[in-house]
Amino acid sequence: MAELSGDSAALAGVQMIEDVQRSVVQVRSGGRGTGAGVVWLGDGAVLTNHHVISGRRRRGNVRVALHDGRTLDADVVKSDRSLDLALLRLEGDPGDLPAAPVGDSEALRVGELVYAIGHPWGRVGAVSAGIVGGVGEFRRPGRGSSTRYVSSDVALAPGNSGGPLLNAKGEVVAINAMIFGLMALSIPSNVAQAWVAGERRPRLGIGVLPVELPAFLRREAGTAGLVIAGVETGGAAERAGLLVGDVLLAIAGKPLGETETLLEAVAHAGDVVSLRVMRGGRIMVVEVRLEESGRAA
């Protein structure tokens, strides 16, 4: 297979960015100002952040500026504060808008090159580049639960919220949401697609952190687990009696050392899942009846 020269690769990268920029819009609400959005489907649908449109003063008070210079009114189809996502529908005749290609966020790898497109400080269509730092659970301040994010070091600023995070193929792999310390946090495309499609996913309702077990426990408990850092009120885990500080050792017989293993097992579980749990040095099995939610964790 022929390889691109340095100049050809650079030009291909520029063309890729320009192609996706046509799918990136400005979202203007009557509350918090301006954010970004991305044409998600070919029928006038736009995906953005909940916090971009949450301050509007009245129903339908959202305007969307397109890449071609037109500005249209938009209705809020649905919005989710916990996921920080909102789906808009453009009014009138938006024409044949180019929907951005959507990639698989689960295929992202640490160190992979990514690009953010948005309108920081009003600079329309600005682009920044960075690398993926991780894909996993992050616990937001003041919340017991955790949410799945892509973390990277792309530069985000006011006006970037709701814009796309792209991989090197020009595919949307996340929706940019916020800055947390020195990290940019973005909502994975797989989570966004499931939410837009209205899929219901089983979930435990907990936030977890990886933990390495001491040597004297390893013969019986294994080398690692996930410690529960937060339990949602009224969630499946609370109903089953799980507590903050419990260490999850295995789910459905699979050892737990990484958050991804837990998420995958829950996603493919039935109505009830079996957890091997350590509490105060004592190991027990807890059966949890799962609840369904549009949220990913």
Residues designated as active site: 51, 84, 161
Q: Within a 13 Å sphere around the CA of 176, how many CA atoms are in the beta-carbon half? A: 36
The pair of three-digit structure tokens given for residue 79, joined into one six-digit string: 């919005």
First to last CA, the chain: 41
DSSP character at residue 122:
G
Neighbours of 165 (CB within 10 A): 33
DSSP character at residue 37:
E
| Interatomic CA distance for residues 155 and 137, integer angstroms | 21
Cα-based distances in Å from 219 to 24, 215, 222, 284: 54, 8, 6, 15
The pair of three-digit structure tokens given for residue 83, joined into one six-digit string: 């996921």
| Interatomic CA distance for residues 125 and 163, integer angstroms | 10
